[in-house]
Amino acid sequence: MTASAAASETSTVTNHRCVNALTVDVEDWFHANALAQAAPRDRWAGLDSRVVTNTRRLLELFGQRGVTGTFFVLGWVADREPALIREIADAGHEIACHGYSHKLVFNQTPQEFREETQRAKTLIEQITGRAVEGYRASTYSITKRSLWALDILCELGFAYDSSIFPIHHDQYGIPDAQPEPHQLTAPGGAHIVEFPLGFARFGGMRLPVSGGGYFRLLPYWLTRAGLRQINRKRQRPFAFYLHPWEIDPGQPRMKVSALSTFRHYTNLNDCQNRLKRLMADFSFAPMRKVLADLALLPATAPANPQA
């Protein structure tokens, strides 16, 4: 089943300013899927948490540049560090949802996904006093086998999603998905705005340049060239993402496979400097604002349903 058959998509607005969405997935180093075998969930509570220090470092970097973005908060973190979530919101950033447990969506039942996503959304809204409109799945795990999750997101009141990656990857991706921000009709007929992660085309190949591990693994000049291609040649904004632990070269080292070690630990010591260059080279705003500028969302956010 193709993505177009499972989810009918409408054309996006392309006449816009190239202000891009800067996003952070607020999770700790041991939440990363690459470390899952060495750091199972039943050990998380006893591991050295570094999410507060690392997130505050990002807030300082963003504040120095006068940049605001969208923080997709993991419910597990919000439960333990509510003051950090309020601090992010008070700094002018949008707060969105990254689920609760960081489980891959396609490994959950629909009922499990609904319950834990509702738990995270309600918790974050109670902490911030603001409505949560955006969602991002752990490890971009809304794929062709879990498109049913989009209908549940609509049921729970989310206005937009940023979980689909139009690339080939061994763990995620919908290669034939529409690459630009657009309104999407989910399999059950509900409507939600999708802001996919971006890629550049080099020699007929799709190269992910949206951040995360790709930002650390690829040379900066190549990332910049790819992102400029999206802005200038394809005339649309991109969504960039990273995690707080990616600017923390001092984090503990876990014994995992060579591939997982490569993905998780490569160039942690250089990521912060690359991020500074990125913010100097491109314009950024929260994801909701970018989508509103594209006329895909209303200009004004709704009131907090928890109020």
What CATH number does the domain containing 61 carry?
Answer: 3.20.20.370
Q: How many CB atoms lie within 10 A of CB 241?
A: 23
Residues 41 and 27: their CA atoms lie apart, in Å, by 13
Q: Which two tokens stand for residue 295?
A: 């006329």
- Is 143 contained in some domain? yes
Strand partners, 202: 205
What is the pLDDT tens value at each position of the chain, 307 positions in all? 444 444 444 333 333 459 999 999 999 999 999 999 999 999 999 999 999 999 999 999 999 999 999 999 999 999 999 999 999 999 999 999 999 999 999 999 999 999 999 999 999 999 999 999 999 999 999 999 999 999 999 999 999 999 999 988 878 889 999 999 999 999 999 999 999 999 999 888 889 999 999 999 999 999 999 999 999 999 999 999 999 999 999 999 999 999 999 999 999 999 999 999 999 999 999 999 999 999 999 998 887 776 6
Residues 83 and 88: their CA atoms lie apart, in Å, by 9
Residues 236 and 21: their CA atoms lie apart, in Å, by 11
How many domains are there within the chain? 1
Strands in 87-235 per DSSP E: 94-97, 134-135, 160-161, 182-185, 191-194, 199-202, 205-208
- Is 254 contained in some domain? yes
- Is 70 contained in some domain? yes
Scan for tokens 């974050």, then name that residue.
124
- Is 303 contained in some domain? no
- Is 300 contained in some domain? no
- For residues 263 and 275, the answer to whether their CB atoms sit within 8 Å is no
The answer to whether the pTM exceeds 0.75 is yes
- Is 2 contained in some domain? no
What is the Cα 137 distance to its own chain's centre?
7
Domain range for residue 46? Answer: 16-293
Q: Which long-range contacts does 171-175 make (Cβ < 8 Å, 24+ apart)?
A: 171/33, 171/104, 171/139, 171/141, 172/139, 172/140, 172/141, 172/143, 173/140, 173/143, 174/3, 174/143, 174/144, 175/206
